[in-house]
Every structure is written in C-alpha cells, then in structure tokens.
Structure 1
Amino acid sequence: MRLAPSLHRIGNDIVAVYLVDAPDGVTIIDAGLAGQYTELLAELDAMGRTIDDVRGVVLTHGDSDHIGFAERLRRDHGVPVFVHEADAARARGEVSTKPEWGHMKLGATAKFLWYALRKNGLRTTPLTEVVAVHDGDVLDLPGAPVIIGLPGHSPGSVAIHVPSVDAVFVGDGLTTRHVLTGTTGPQPAPFTDDPAEALASLHRIAGLGATWVLPGHGSPWRGGVEQAVGEVERAAAASGA
C-alpha cells in the first residue's frame, strides 16, 4: 500500500511493515511476520523494485513479530539487518521474554493470534547476524534513517526518523490499535517491559515535527507526532498507567 510518495506499507493494522523508496534503493522498517514475505515481494513489484533494490532492514526492536522475514533477507540476499545494541541478543533469540498480557478482549486477542498463526508467527527464525546501532546514528541507507533511542517497550526499542518522507517509525513505542483489546487511537502498547519508561521516552520524539507516526500495530497516524504523543499520555492517564 502506498501511503505517500516514497512511503509504503505492507501488512495491516494487526502487524505492519514499512518501506522507504529512495533513488538509491529501498529501506525496510521492521520485518513483521515470516509469512508477510510474499506481501513484500508483491509490494516491491508494484513499486517497480525487486529484492535486489533492498539495501537494509532497520528494526525498531527485537521482538518476534518485528523480525519475521529479516533473517531470510539476510541469509538469502545478503541484506544487512540493523538493531539497537541493547536488543541485539533479543533479535538473535538469545533472550526469552515473558511479557505481561494485561487487559484483553476475547475477540481482538483471538484475531491477533489467528493472524499471527496464518502468517507463520510461530515459526520465526531469529537473526544469525545483526549490525548494532546506537542512539543518534544516521544510517547509510536510503532515506538516511536516524536512530532515536526509545527504551521501555524493550531495552533497545528505537524510533526511526526519516525526514525525507516526513515520518517517524515507532515500532511498539506506542500503538494506534491495541492488539489485545481492539481499542484504536494512539495509546501505550501492550507487552511492554517498562510502561513508565516507555511513556517517558516518547518525549524524545515529540519535537521532531514529523507528520506521519507509523506504529508496528495500528493505522498510520497523519496528525503529527506531537498530537500522537499527547494522545498516548492522555490514554495512559485515563487507564491509570
């Protein structure tokens, strides 16, 4: 799906992956679920691109529903995969996480689990090799992605700012569709290691001025990053978080 010139999304509001299309190639933000690989190929074809145009995958963090087809790209096509140093072990499958599920609604949770099952979410291949990045890095990839540390959801969660497409990709730093309740709108994401730290970290992106805020789960937000952060803070306060 084309969101804007040079900005594309595959997947849906349950699990999303983004592509930045630049003259020097394509950067993929997150790698979703393993079964979304066929959607990636279809989107690249619609863009007039191929796998050979992909210069790198940048992960917002190392959770299984964000690394899905990353190892396949790395192993079969030599595409480097970038992740914050603090989440490198997580992306390699060396750290087991036991997230708190919190409040759930049966229908929304079942939809999330069924979609993950259909897209091979239970057969995620961990990364064998990663390129470690750090807060403040500007990557030599199409779009010149800027890494902004956003710890809380995981120790190495990051936001990825791409000024050329007026977007900040936030992974699970916030969500616009809670996968366990179905509630829509900017709000804290579930399965977060440290909810208070995650909320505080959002101040690091509030001044970016980006129009697009693109989460790993939920609809793309086009109301500006400042408004999105404000909505998350209000939602957190209303829930007592």
Structure 2
Amino acid sequence: MRLDEHLYRIGNDIVAAYLVVTPEGVTVIDAGMPGQFKDLLAELTAIGRSLADVRGAVITHGDADHIGFAERLRTEAGVPIFVHGADAARAKGGDKPKNEMPKMKLGPTLGFFAYGLRKGAMRTRPLTEVVEVADGDVLDLPGAPRVIGMPGHSPGSIAIHSPVAKAVFVGDALTTRHVTTGRTGPAPAPFTDDPAQALASLERIADLDAAWVLPGHGGPWHGSPADAVAAVRAAA
C-alpha cells in the first residue's frame, strides 16, 4: 500500500512492515511474519520492482513478529539484515524475558493469534547472520536510514528515520493498535521489557522532522512525532 512517494506498507493494522523506495533501490523496514514474504513480493511487483532491488532490511528489534521473513530474504536473495547489537542474540533465537501479561479482550487477542497462524508465525526462522548497528549509524541503504536507539521494549529496540520518506519507523516503541485489546491510537506497546525506559526513550524521536510515525502494530500515524509522543504519554 502506497503511503507517500517513497513509502509503502505491507501487512495490516495487526502486523505491518514497510518499504522505502528510491531510484537506487528498496530498503525493507521490519520483516513481520513469514507469510508476509508473499505480501512483499506482491508489493514489489505492483511498483515495478523485484527482490533484486532490495538492498537491505533493517529490523527494529528481535521479536518473532518483526523478523518473520528476514532469514528467507537473506538466504534466498542475499539481502543483509541490520539489527542493533543489543538485540542480535534475540533475533537469533536467544532467550526473551517474561513480561507482565497485558490486559486482554477476547476478540482482538484471538484475532492477533489467528492472523499469526495464517501468516506462518509458528514457522518463524531465527536469523543466523546479522549486520550489527548502533545508535546514530546512518546506513548506506536507499533512503539513508538513521538508527535511533530506543531501549525499553527490548534492549536493542531502535527507531529508523528516513528523511526522504519523511518517516520514522518505530517498531514497538509505541503502538497505534493494541494487539490484545484492540484499542486504537498512540499508546505504549504491550509485552515491553522495561515500560518506564520505553516511555523515556520516546523523547529521542519527539523532535524529528517527519510526517509519518510508523509502528509495527496499528495504522500509520500521519502527523508529527511530537504529537504522537504526547498522545502516548497521555495514554500511559
């Protein structure tokens, strides 16, 4: 789905990934669930591109619903996968802390798990090789994505700012649709390792010059990061 001139989304409000598209090629942001690989191929075809145009995939954090098709992209197309060093082990299948269970409503929770089953969540392959990145890195990829450390949801959670796409991709640093309650609007994401730290990290994106704030779960936020951050704090 086209959001802007250089900006596309695959998936939906349950689980989303994004494409930054420039004449030099395509950068994938997050890799959703394994079955969304077909969505990626369909979107690339629709915009006249192919896997050969994908120069890299940047993962906002190492949770299973963000690395879904990344290993396939790496092994079948030779695409490098970029992950913050503090989440590299997590992305490779390492242990994840047991978080406090969030509030749940039956419908949205079942919808999340049903979508995961349809999209092959049980077949997620951990990454076996990553390119580690750090806060402040500007990657040599289409859209010149800049890494912004956002610890809290996980130690190596990051946001990615692409000026050409006028967007900041935030993974689970915030959500606009709570996966277990269905609540919409900017809010803290569930299943967060350190909620207080995650809220504090939002200050790192508040002053960015961007027209889109794009989470891994929920609809795109078309507005300023400052307003999105204020809405999250109000909902916390």
For normalisation by structure 1, the TM-score amounts to 0.97
Residue in structure 1 matched with residue 123 of structure 2 by the alignment: 123
Q: Deviations over 1:33-67 (max 9, x none)?
A: 00011110000001100000000000000000000
Residue in structure 2 matched with residue 217 of structure 1 by the alignment: 217
What is the CA–CA distance in structure 1 between the aligned matches of 2:99 and 2:52, rounded to whole Å? 36
Backbone CA RMSD of aligned residues: 0.7
Deviation at 1:98, TM superposition (A): 2.4
What is the CA–CA distance in structure 2 between the aligned matches of 1:130 and 1:200, rounded to whole Å? 27
Structure 2 counterparts to residues 138-153 of structure 1, below 5 A: 138-153=138-153
What is the CA–CA distance in structure 2 between the aligned matches of 1:199 and 1:97, rounded to whole Å? 18
Residue in structure 2 matched with residue 82 of structure 1 by the alignment: 82
Residue in structure 2 matched with residue 61 of structure 1 by the alignment: 61
Q: Deviations over 1:155-207 (max 9, x none)?
A: 00000000111100000000000000000000000000000000000000100
Deviation at 1:15, TM superposition (A): 0.1
Q: Deviations over 1:80-103 (max 9, x none)?
A: 000000000000002234232221
The answer as to whether partners of 1:61 and 1:84 remain within 8 angstroms in 2 is yes
What is the CA–CA distance in structure 2 between the aligned matches of 1:110 and 1:99, rounded to whole Å? 19
SS in 2 for 1:65: helix
Residue in structure 1 matched with residue 43 of structure 2 by the alignment: 43
Deviation at 1:122, TM superposition (A): 1.3
Residue in structure 1 matched with residue 72 of structure 2 by the alignment: 72
What is the CA–CA distance in structure 2 between the aligned matches of 1:211 and 1:124, rounded to whole Å? 32
Deviation at 1:77, TM superposition (A): 1.0
What is the CA–CA distance in structure 2 between the aligned matches of 1:174 and 1:11, rounded to whole Å? 18
For normalisation by structure 2, the TM-score amounts to 0.99
Q: Deviations over 1:70-121 (max 9, x none)?
A: 0001011110000000000000002234232221101110000000011001
Moved more, 89-98 or 154-163: 89-98
What is the CA–CA distance in structure 2 between the aligned matches of 1:209 and 1:95, rounded to whole Å? 36
Q: Deviations over 1:115-166 (max 9, x none)?
A: 0011001110000100000000000000000000000000000000001111
- Percent identity over the alignment? 68
Gaps in structure 2 of 5+ consecutive residues: none
SS in 1 for 2:199: helix
Deviation at 1:224, TM superposition (A): 1.1
SS in 2 for 1:99: coil
What is the CA–CA distance in structure 1 between the aligned matches of 2:214 and 2:84, rounded to whole Å? 18
Moved more, 44-53 or 90-99: 90-99
SS in 2 for 1:196: helix
Residue in structure 1 matched with residue 170 of structure 2 by the alignment: 170
SS in 1 for 2:87: helix
Residue in structure 1 matched with residue 193 of structure 2 by the alignment: 193
SS in 2 for 1:192: coil
What is the CA–CA distance in structure 1 between the aligned matches of 2:214 and 2:102, rounded to whole Å? 23
The one-letter amino acid paired with 1:212 is W
What is the CA–CA distance in structure 2 between the aligned matches of 1:94 and 1:228, rounded to whole Å? 32
SS in 1 for 2:185: strand
SS in 1 for 2:115: helix
SS in 2 for 1:34: coil
The answer as to whether partners of 1:209 and 1:226 remain within 8 angstroms in 2 is no
Gaps in structure 1 of 5+ consecutive residues: 237-241
Deviation at 1:222, TM superposition (A): 0.5
Residue in structure 2 matched with residue 239 of structure 1 by the alignment: none
